[in-house]
Structure 1
């Protein structure tokens, strides 16, 4: 990990409170990660985004969850949760 990345992250690899990396900082970090894997930035991003695109967006799940609560009330049985898995 380079010095710039270390300054943006805390000791556990999470973004530091109050730090907001600029777009060039983010791009440079992604380019560095791609290079470490021997990939172009486009190849790296496609590999990172493909699994994300295969999952439903949180915004799409909220109406489903609200409807479930409306129909069943606040308490949902374990079996019902498992039966409704997306």
Structure 2
């Protein structure tokens, strides 16, 4: 079920900018902001990206020992 959001205390200049951008896109302010919120919600946070990268490194990447061994072997050559 769809929910409603309400944003209070929006500064006048921000409101004017949003209203102008919505009009330029041919949308109501509500439609424009809904599109923006959906885009934000679909984008992972920085923390989520780092956690995913760490998980992939553990699952797919070389271990610290692999890296240290490769460095040692490279220096010996």
Larger Rg: 2
Structure with the higher fraction of residues in helix conformation = 2
TM-score range, shorter chain: 0.3 to 0.5
> Structure 1-normalised TM-score?
0.44
> Structure 2-normalised TM-score?
0.47
